[in-house]
Amino acid sequence: MSANAKLCLFPNGLNLYGQLVIGPPGSGKTTYCAAMHDFLVKLGRKVAVINLDPANDNLPYPCAVNMADLIRLDEVMDYLSLGPNGGLIYCMEYLYTHRCWLANQLAVLKQKEPKIYLIFDLPGQVELYTHHPCMRQLVCFLTDKPTNLKKEKQLSLLTSTQTSSSPLLPEDELMPNSLHLHLTSVHLVDSHYCSDAGKFIACVLTSLSAMLQLSIPHVNILSKADLIEQYGELDFNLDFFTEVLDLHYLIDRLHKTKSDNNDNDDVTNSQLLSDCKYTRLNQAIVDLIQDRSLVQFLLLDIQDLSHMERVMRYVDRANGYVFGPSEQHNLQSLLHSASGVELAPDWVGMVQEKYMSRSNTNNNTDINV
Chain segment 279-288, per-residue pLDDT in tens:
888 888 899 8
Q: Report pLDDT digits (tens) over 12-67.
A: 789 999 999 999 998 999 999 999 999 999 999 999 999 999 998 889 999 999 99
Average pLDDT over residues 187-206: 91
DSSP tag of 225: G
pLDDT at residue 263 is higher than 80: no
Average pLDDT over residues 206-221: 94
pLDDT at residue 268 is higher than 70: no
pLDDT cut 70: percent of the chain above it: 72
DSSP tag of 174: T
Burial class (CB in 10 A: 0-12, 13-18, 19+), 327: middle
CA-wise closest residue to 17 among 117, 145, 119: 117
DSSP tag of 71: -
Rounded to 5 degrees, what angle do the CA atoms 280, 281, 286 make? Answer: 95
CA-wise closest residue to 362 among 234, 197, 245, 223: 234
pLDDT at residue 239 is higher than 90: no
Are β-strands 182-190 and 297-299 bridged in parallel, bridged antiparallel, or unpaired? Answer: unpaired
DSSP-derived 3-state class of residue 307:
helix
Could you tell me the pLDDT band of residue 154, with boundaries at 50, 70 and 90?
very low
Residue 250's pLDDT is 87
Average pLDDT over residues 117-122: 97
CB neighbour list of residue 17: distance below 8 Å, 6 or more residues apart: 117, 118, 181, 182, 183, 316, 319, 320, 321
The per-residue b/e assignment along 159-173, b for 16 or more CB within 10 angstroms, e otherwise, is eebeeeeeeeeeeee
Residue 228's pLDDT is 84
What is the spatial distance between Cα 143 and Cα 235, in angstroms, rounded to a whole number?
A: 40
pTM, 2 dp: 0.83
Largest CA distance in the chain: 75
Architecture of domain 12-147+176-244+294-322: 3-Layer(aba) Sandwich (3.40)
Residue 149's pLDDT is 47
Q: At what angle do helices 84-97 and 99-112 cross, to 10 degrees?
A: 60
